[in-house]
């Protein structure tokens, strides 16, 4: 009978053990609770999610910061620094620290990428109608006339004083959202948030990792089918920022597509072999500026850039449907599209 | 082996198989069907798409305007709106957990509900 009891007890024990697989350990309940906030600003949809007991306060402060940055950096708001610069007729203008920082960064990335990023392209962008809803294809002669005022190297910036030549106009659209991501992360940290993720119109930036310690999964859109994802990468404490030809574009009567990322060389949509560039790095501002610049640079020049600059990982999609990604992503990259994916070889 | 031991072993085995099946059913509970409609950070509708009847309804914007939402065969989309760009209508049915349907002018978002959030 003793044997019988042993069998019963052992069996019951095993069953309990197996059932125990479902129960979850919850070490700290408040760290596991997330709060989310939608923000409609900078002409885009932003979603922020933060974990922990300070999440709500952090989200509210971050939301305020987004609106204040929008007021400083918007090209269309009459109270913004950018408006003052664009209506200064060549006179010196005093700007706030954020604007100065972004202008300096844009100049730095322009210099690093053979002028592929040029914040003085704004008049050309307006001519194409990418700043409003009425798109049009400008005559090349009109573009050439406008391009004669495009040259970011003529911007004179010293501390908080900037002089932009007469007839030149700037726009920080290529860097503003990346910087906004950095500033949100800063506010989250100041509020003791250890785990958060934001999406600013598709640009993703994460603070720390998920509350359970695992990495965040971030999907990158398929440029050929923008309502689906093409790959997933796992990250922590990083920004993942994409520039693609699908974000804002129009098509003419013959089905030709014209997109909003313009090549400063000819003032036309940049068409150098890449349809999507994703930059992954620590600093959202750098990643944002680079995603635009490298989109304009094209595949070969982007390889040159990688040879001379480290600290970034890239996912490129070429116009012949191939995904190229950097070696640093081998562990974290998974292709969920029907495109081929290859590692970029630099030698 | 006595008869009672055999009965016990069989019943333990059945219990075991039963619990395995139960675990599988719990784990495989269909995901990605809980959807919320959020207007300027306020959840105005939330439902399980797999249990919703086919229907079309209008959502009035807080500052005027409207969006027409359709639920059909477990899928949700915005079928019409009076906003200028119609980005929300062009987005089609909600597919991805990462890509919500958004109407910027009306501050309206349709997305799969976060499982982690109550």
- Same domain (yes/no): A63, A80: no
On average, the pLDDT of chain A sits at 92
**Residue A131 falls within a domain, yes or no?**
yes
Tally of domains within chain A: 2
Position B114 scores a pLDDT of 63
Which chain B residue shows the shortest CA-CA distance from A21? B23
Contacts B44 to A, Cβ<8 Å: none
Which has the higher per-residue pLDDT, A294 or B31? A294
- Same domain (yes/no): A221, A113: no
Would the ipTM clear 0.90, i.e. be above it?
A: no
- Same domain (yes/no): A41, A184: yes
Determine the average pLDDT of the residues in A307-325: 96
- Same domain (yes/no): A263, A305: yes
Q: Give the residue numbers spanning the domain of A40.
A: 29-72+178-343
Distance from C-alpha of A65 to C-alpha of A48, rounded to nearest angstrom: 13
- Same domain (yes/no): A244, A186: yes
Nearest-neighbour CA in chain A from B41: distance (Å): 6
**Residue A210 falls within a domain, yes or no?**
yes
- Rg (C-alpha) for chain B, rounded Å, is 22
CB pairs < 8 Å spanning A and B:
66
Which has the higher per-residue pLDDT, B3 or A65? A65
**Residue A22 falls within a domain, yes or no?**
no
Instruction: Tell how strand A340-343 and strand A322-325 pair up.
Output: parallel
- Same domain (yes/no): A199, A59: yes
Determine the average pLDDT of the residues in A252-264: 94
Position A123 scores a pLDDT of 96
Nearest-neighbour CA in chain B from A39: distance (Å): 8
CB atoms within 10 A of CB B20: 12
pLDDT at residue A121 is higher than 50: yes
- This model's pTM is above 0.90: no
Q: Percent of chain A scored above 90 by pLDDT?
A: 85
Last residue of a domain, one of A134, A163, A192: A163
On average, the pLDDT of chain B sits at 86
pLDDT at residue A125 is higher than 80: yes
Q: Which of A40, A132, A220 to mutate to test the interface with B (most CBs of B within 10 A)?
A: A40
- Same domain (yes/no): A229, A320: yes
Helix locations, chain B, DSSP H: 3-27, 87-90
- Same domain (yes/no): A68, A206: yes
- For residue range A153-197, what is the model confidence (pLDDT) as tens digits? 999 999 999 999 999 999 999 999 999 999 999 999 999 999 999
- For residue range B22-62, what is the model confidence (pLDDT) as tens digits? 777 666 555 668 999 999 999 999 989 988 899 999 999 98
SS3 B115: coil
Q: Percent of chain B scored above 70 by pLDDT?
A: 88
Which chain B residue shows the shortest CA-CA distance from A229? B96
Tell me, what CATH number does A236's domain have?
3.10.520.10
- Same domain (yes/no): A205, A224: yes
Contacts of B59 (CB under 8 A, 6+ apart): B37, B39, B44, B66, B67, B68, B69, B106, B108
**Residue A170 falls within a domain, yes or no?**
no
């Amino acid at each position: 009978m003793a044997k019988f009891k042993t069998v019963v007890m052992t069996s019951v024990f095993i069953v309990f053990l197996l059932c125990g697989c479902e129960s979850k350990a919850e070490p700290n309940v408040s760290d596991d609770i997330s709060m989310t906030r939608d923000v409609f600003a900078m002409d885009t949809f932003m979603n922020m999610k933060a974990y922990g007991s300070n999440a709500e306060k952090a989200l509210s402060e971050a939301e305020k910061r987004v609106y204040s940055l929008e007021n400083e950096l918007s090209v269309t708001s009459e109270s913004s620094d950018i408006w003052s610069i664009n209506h200064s007729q060549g006179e010196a203008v005093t700007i706030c620290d954020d604007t100065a920082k972004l202008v300096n960064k844009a100049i730095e990335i322009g210099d690093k990428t053979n002028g592929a990023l040029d914040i003085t392209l704004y008049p050309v962008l307006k001519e194409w109608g990418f700043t409003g809803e009425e798109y049009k294809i400008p005559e090349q002669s009109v573009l050439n006339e406008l391009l004669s005022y495009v040259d970011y190297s003529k911007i004179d910036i010293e501390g908080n004083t900037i002089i932009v030549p007469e007839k030149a106009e700037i726009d920080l659209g290529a860097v503003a959202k990346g910087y906004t991501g950095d500033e949100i992360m800063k506010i989250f940290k100041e509020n003791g948030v250890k785990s958060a993720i934001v999406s600013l119109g598709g640009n993703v930036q994460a603070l720390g990792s998920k509350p359970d310690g695992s990495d965040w999964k971030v999907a990158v859109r398929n440029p050929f089918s923008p309502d689906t994802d093409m790959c997933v990468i796992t990250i922590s404490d990083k920004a993942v920022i994409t520039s693609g030809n699908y974000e804002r574009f129009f098509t003419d009567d013959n089905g030709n597509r014209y997109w909003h990322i313009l090549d400063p060389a000819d003032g036309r949509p940049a068409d150098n072999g890449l349809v999507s560039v994703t930059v992954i790095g620590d600093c959202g501002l750098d990643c944002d500026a680079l995603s635009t610049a490298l989109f304009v640079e094209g595949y070969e020049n982007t390889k040159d850039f990688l040879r001379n600059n480290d600290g970034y990982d890239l996912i490129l999609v070429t116009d012949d449907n191939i995904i190229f990604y950097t070696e640093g992503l081998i562990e974290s990259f998974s292709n969920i599209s029907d495109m081929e994916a290859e590692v970029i070889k630099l030698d | 082996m006595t008869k009672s031991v055999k009965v016990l072993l069989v019943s333990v085995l059945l219990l075991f198989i039963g619990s395995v099946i139960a675990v599988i059913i719990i784990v495989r509970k269909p995901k990605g069907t809980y959807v919320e409609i959020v207007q300027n950070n306020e959840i105005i509708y939330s439902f399980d798409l797999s249990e919703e009847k086919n229907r079309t309804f209008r959502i009035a914007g807080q500052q005027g305007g409207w969006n027409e939402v359709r639920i059909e065969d477990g899928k949700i989309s915005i079928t019409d709106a009076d906003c200028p760009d119609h980005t929300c209508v062009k987005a089609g049915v909600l597919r991805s957990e990462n890509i919500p349907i958004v109407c910027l002018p009306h501050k309206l978002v349709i997305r799969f509900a976060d499982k982690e959030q109550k």
